[in-house]
Every structure is written in C-alpha cells, then in structure tokens.
Amino acid sequence: MARILIADDSDAMRDGMVLTLTRAGHEVQGVKGGAEAIAAYARRHAQVVVTDLRMIPVDGLEVVRRLRELDPDATILLVTAHGTVAAAVEAMRAGATDFVEKPFPPELLVARVEKAAAIAGERRRARDAHARAAALDEDRAREAGSEGLLGDSAAMAQVREQVRKVAGTEATVLVLGESGTGKELVARALHQGGRRRDGPFVSVSCAALPEGLLESELFGHEKGAFTGAVRRKIGRFELAHGGTLFLDEVGELPPAVQVKLLRVLQERRFERVGGEETLEVDVRLVSATNRDLARRVREGQFREDLYYRLAIVPLSLPPLRARTGDVELLARHFLAKHAGRIGRQLAGFSPGALALLSRHDWPGNVRELENAVQQAMVFAEGQVVEAADLPAALREAPRALPVPSGDRGLPEILEELERQLLVSAMERARGVKAEAARLLGLKPSALYYKLEKYGIGGGEPPGPEGG
C-alpha cells in the first residue's frame, strides 16, 4: 500500500482517480488545486503525488517545482491532456518522475502510480542506506579485548567471564561503573562476542544532547518536524537495526524520552519525531550509567518499569583503585598504543614512576591513567618514563597522618578512623553498598554490620544493587 496525494481542480476527474487508487488498495487523499497540494504535502509527505498539469492559479509545473523544493526526493506523476506533451517534458526536467496522458484507462493509472511508488521506495532505501553507512563510519566499533578489559586482577577476570556468558544471549545489559572505567568497551565486547557481531554497533551519549535533540537522535525525525528539520533524519535505533545500540549515561534520560524508550523495549516499534509511520526495529540494547539508578527510582527521577527493563543483567565494573595490580599492565599498554601518534618509542617506566602510578588513587580511572601516560611520553627525555615526567598530581606526596593527642586510647582512635573510612567509601560509592564493600575489601555482610554499628547509611538491608 502506498500513500498517494492527488491534485486536480476537476471534481469528477479527481474523485475518479481517488476511487480507482483506493480500490487498488492504496491510501489516497484528494485536494482541489495546486496550492492545496503543496500545503498537504508540507503537512505530511506522500510517497507519490499525482497532479494535473493545467490548474488555476497554481498549475502542475509549479506544483512540481515547489514540491521538489520541499523535498528533493518527492515522487510526482503528472496528468496531461492530449497535445501538452511538451509541457510534460518540461515538468520532468523540473523534477517530475513520469506523466500519463488523458484519457487513460483505470488500470494504466494504477500501473503508473505503483511504478512511481516503487521508484520512491528505492530512493528512500538508497538515502537511508547512505545515512546508515555515514553514521557507522563515525561509530566504527573497536575490536573487543582492548584496554577496558585488560587486567590480571581477580575483579577483571570476573568481568571478562561475565561478558563471555552474557555476550551470546540477547539479554538487555546495564553496565554500572564510575566514569572512565571502560563501560563502552564492555558494550563493544558484548557486541563482538554475540550473534550480532556482523551487524552495526551504534552508540549515543544521553547526557550530551538536550531533551528535544536527544529524542531526534534516538528515533529520528521527519522533514519539517520542528524548526531546523530541513530533511529527514534517521535515528540511532534505525541505524542499529540488526545490531547493538549502546546508550551511555542512560540515567540522564529526561522523562518524556524514558516513556518512548520503554515502548521500544516492550514493543520493538516507534515513530520518528513528527512522523506517523510506525517502524519496527530489531536491536540489542546495552546501556551504562555511573549513577545509582535504584536511588533515582526511589527519588522519582527514573521510571521503575524502565529500570527493570534495562537491568535484566546488571554488570558492574570495578574502579581502577580496586585493582591496583593492573595499573602497570595498563600503563605499558598505553605506552605502546600511543607510541606512533606521539612519535616516542619508550622502553617502559622507571621503578620510581611505577611506584607513583601504583600509589595514586585514580579518581578518573582508566581514562585518567591513559592521559597521564600520554603526558609523560611527551615530557620524557630518556628511554623510560621517570617519576618527574608524570603529572604533578601523581608526584604530590601523600599526607602523613597526624599523631593524635588527648585522653583517647588507640582503640577509640582506630574506631574513629574506621568510621571516617566507611563514610568516605559510601560517599565515593554514591551510597551503593556493594561498591563501598569492594572499595574497602570487605564482604557485603561485614560492611552492613559496620554501617549498622556506626549508624551510617540509614540501617536498611542492602538491596539488589547493594544500595
């Protein structure tokens, strides 16, 4: 079925064509005159426009010109009377697709319209394929097994095992972790390890765009949907069809977009912004956040039903400070990775430099380590990175603990220090108890006992997220 717009100032002719094409199974709208046709097309694009050549005051040639200005891909079939073939040829030069001479049998009109609809479909598919290829060039997935999954620590071994198990399924995954821990790299590894590896991997940051543009980025928009929408845009869901869509910082989704995303997850269908056509999509969704989504649900900032749809399989990434044994391995990897771009082939790190790297807390995680190594490579004068080549923040000596004074004994002082460490860990983990336990090297049950002992965290039992 095609959507057809018919413009003819003859009521009898227009009604006859509407009836003929409707009986052929098409969705047809008839308008009286060229001006009405231009206005109707601007409101809702038709796949094929059938317009009479001779109309007053706006004739068919002007309709062709105006519609092609509105939409360079407009598909237009011109109806002409005998003796006006020269004018029809002029209209085709202006952008008409075909013409048919009056009088014509109904079956000829149907055949010409369906041929034009097929041409329109080919144009649309070619345009969409071009947009898909351009976007995929921007979002070309890096090979799995890159620095985000490197590490000999038990924590990273566990992450790799989880990725291996989950990758072969179609489960929706929520990757949890601080900024810079490699959440997108885990998403790419899930894609590369699954049956969709030959399909596209498309990513979008939900925090990088305002609400209106984010909806358009995800779901696309039709031409004229809003000011500045000068052409149709293919959204990331369409581009990821048959592959994986990665939504980074999904906790920043505004409420209106949360509703639309929930529908896509439930029904696998949506409409472009400003469009009426319902599109079906086959996409595996992987999302990531550094927020405590369970808390945002409790605070009414994130939909509970969407949260449970996204977190069918939650996968937590440890911060770099929880796997300090991996720092040297990662640093050497970055030294080799950036050698060509920076133009420095360095042999490694001095013992002093390695000591500084191991001592640092790495609040920016793997991303901060990579930046530090690149900076050191620029300033290094010898064949190895020295401590002096590293960023100043790494070279600052840790503050010594002051010797306490007063009447308190050592047990009281140690309890106070323990309490401060618990508070600090809970703040750094944003209230997520499982994360705080990992930071402190405690079992969750031991952490809960200590939180209850010191009256920290409200005393409620840890939830499924540990928060």
> Structural domain boundaries of the chain?
3-127, 147-316, 320-395, 410-459
Query: For the chain, give me the number of helices (H) and strands (E)?
Result: 20, 14
Q: CA 214 to CA 209: how far, in whole Å? A: 5
Q: Return the structure tokens found at 240.
A: 């990821």
**CA end-to-end span of the chain, whole Å?**
53
Q: CA 336 to CA 185: how far, in whole Å? A: 19
- The CATH number that domain 3-127 falls under is 3.40.50.2300
Task: Print pLDDT tens along the chain (467 aa).
Answer: 889 999 998 899 999 999 999 999 999 999 999 999 999 998 888 999 999 988 889 988 899 989 988 887 789 998 887 666 677 778 778 888 888 888 889 999 999 999 888 888 877 776 666 556 545 433 443 333 444 578 888 888 899 899 999 998 999 999 999 988 889 999 999 998 889 999 999 999 998 888 778 888 999 888 888 887 878 888 899 999 999 999 999 999 999 899 999 999 999 999 999 888 889 999 999 999 998 888 889 989 999 999 999 999 999 999 998 888 889 889 998 988 898 888 888 888 998 899 889 888 898 999 999 999 999 999 998 888 999 999 988 887 555 555 555 555 677 777 777 877 887 777 777 677 887 787 787 888 888 888 888 777 644 444 444 44
**Domain 320-395, CATH among 2.170.190.11, 1.10.10.10, 1.10.8.60, 3.90.1150.10:** 1.10.8.60
Q: CA 238 to CA 272: how far, in whole Å? A: 10
CATH topology of domain 410-459: Arc Repressor Mutant, subunit A (1.10.10)
Asked if the domains 3-127 and 147-316 are classified in one and the same CATH topology, the answer is yes
| Residue 394: CB atoms within 10 Å | 20
Closest listed residue to residue 44, CA positions, set 233, 269, 274:
274
Q: Which helix (H) or strand (E) is 13 found in, with range?
A: helix 11-23
| H-helix segments, 322-443 | 327-337, 339-342, 351-359, 365-379, 392-395, 410-428, 433-440
| H-helix segments, 44-105 | 60-70, 85-94
CATH topology of domain 147-316: Rossmann fold (3.40.50)
